[in-house]
């Protein structure tokens, strides 16, 4: 029986791992700790100590599990890149106040008093979500790929049918805040489609049809998005 399977060693390792919030690093930490315990165990056994006592002394020599776990949690937690955050916030608000100033000066047509407020609210929501999702592991969404695909496509269909046009783009209005659904749709598609590709096992005709359908439907919906179609039209037809 390997030392890593000893009940006392397993309990000690689990106590340490439970303090580390970054689950991706659990296996790496466990292997490193086992390596250290084995080194101590071998040195005690070579000195003539019995195996049972060698394991006990090795664990004691390693130190308190709670303290080690808290230290490892700080090491593997990862730090937020505050320089990038500050630069993003500054650039966002520079853009907002520039747009507001130009709007107030009368250079932008159709500008109203709610435009600046909506821009600020939208930017704050975007920054908050970005910081909240900074450490999120998107691989956790792989098992929900098909659900995201279906839900996002339904949302896009509803947007095409019932949303309002603003400067050629489709917007959904929620509590006086207009949201452009196009970038949200494209973002969610970039997350779920790779998961769909990995989850489908191509063993028969049905599997191939599922794969083709998973990609054809988003392509058709994207082609129906007014702002994307308009960009394509201007680029390849109007400029000729």
176: left (phi over 0), alpha (psi -120 to 50) or beta: left
In the chain, where are the structural domains located? 3-76, 80-136, 138-240
3-state secondary structure of 166: strand
Strand order in the sheet with 164-166: 164-166, 169-174, 177-180
**Considering the entire predicted model, what is its pTM?**
0.49
Closest listed residue to residue 66, CA positions, set 17, 32, 29, 9: 17
How high is the mean pLDDT of the chain?
Answer: 78
Q: How many Cβ atoms sit within 10 Å of the Cβ of residue 229?
A: 13
pLDDT category, 38, cuts 50, 70, 90? very high
In angstroms, rounded to a whole number, what is the distance separating the alpha carbons of residues 212 and 149? Answer: 13
User: CB under 8 Å to 228, separation ≥6 — which residues?
Assistant: 182, 222
Mean pLDDT across the stretch 213-239?
65
**Residues listed for the chain:** 240
Q: What are phi and psi of 152, to 5 degrees?
A: -70, -40
pLDDT digits (tens, 9 = 90+) for 41-58: 999 999 988 888 999 999
pLDDT digits (tens, 9 = 90+) for 97-123: 776 776 666 555 555 556 667 777 777
76-95 residue pLDDT tens: 776 666 777 777 778 877 87
Question: What is the reported pLDDT for 105?
Answer: 63
How far apart are the C-alpha atoms of 102 and 96, rounded to whole Å? 10
> Among positive and negative, which fits the CA dihedral 99, 103, 106, 107?
positive
DSSP string covering 66-94, please?
Answer: HHHHHHHHHHHS----HHHHHHHHHHHHH
Q: Are 171 and 163 in contact (CB under 8 A)?
A: yes
Measuring CA to CA, which residue among 132, 211, 213, 223 is closest to residue 185?
223
- pLDDT at residue 1 tops 50: no
Whether the predicted pLDDT of 207 surpasses 70: yes
62 to 35, 40, 54, 123: CA distances (angstroms)? 11, 9, 12, 49
């Amino acid at each position: 029986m390997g030392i890593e399977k000893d009940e006392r060693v397993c309990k000690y390792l689990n106590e340490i791992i439970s303090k580390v919030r970054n689950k991706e690093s659990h296996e790496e930490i466990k292997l490193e700790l086992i390596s250290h315990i084995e080194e101590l165990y071998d040195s005690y056994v070579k000195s003539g100590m019995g195996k049972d006592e060698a394991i006990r002394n090795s664990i004691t020599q390693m130190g308190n599990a709670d303290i080690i776990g808290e230290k490892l949690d700080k090491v593997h937690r990862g730090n937020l890149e505050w320089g990038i955050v500050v630069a993003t916030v500054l650039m966002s608000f520079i853009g907002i106040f520039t747009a507001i100033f130009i709007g107030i000066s009368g250079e932008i047509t159709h500008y109203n008093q709610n435009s600046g407020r909506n821009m600020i609210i939208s930017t704050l929501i975007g920054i908050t979500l970005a910081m909240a999702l900074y450490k999120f592991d998107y691989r956790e969404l792989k098992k929900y790929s098909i659900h995201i695909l279906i839900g996002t496509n339904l949302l896009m269909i509803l947007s095409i049918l019932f949303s309002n046009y603003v400067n050629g783009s489709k917007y959904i209005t929620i509590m006086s805040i207009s949201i452009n659904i196009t970038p949200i749709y494209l973002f969610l598609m970039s997350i779920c489609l790779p998961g769909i590709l990995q989850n489908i096992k191509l063993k028969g005709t049905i599997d191939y049809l599922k794969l083709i359908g998973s990609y054809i439907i988003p392509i058709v919906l994207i082609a129906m998005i007014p702002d994307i179609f308009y960009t394509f039209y201007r680029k390849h037809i109007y400029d000729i």
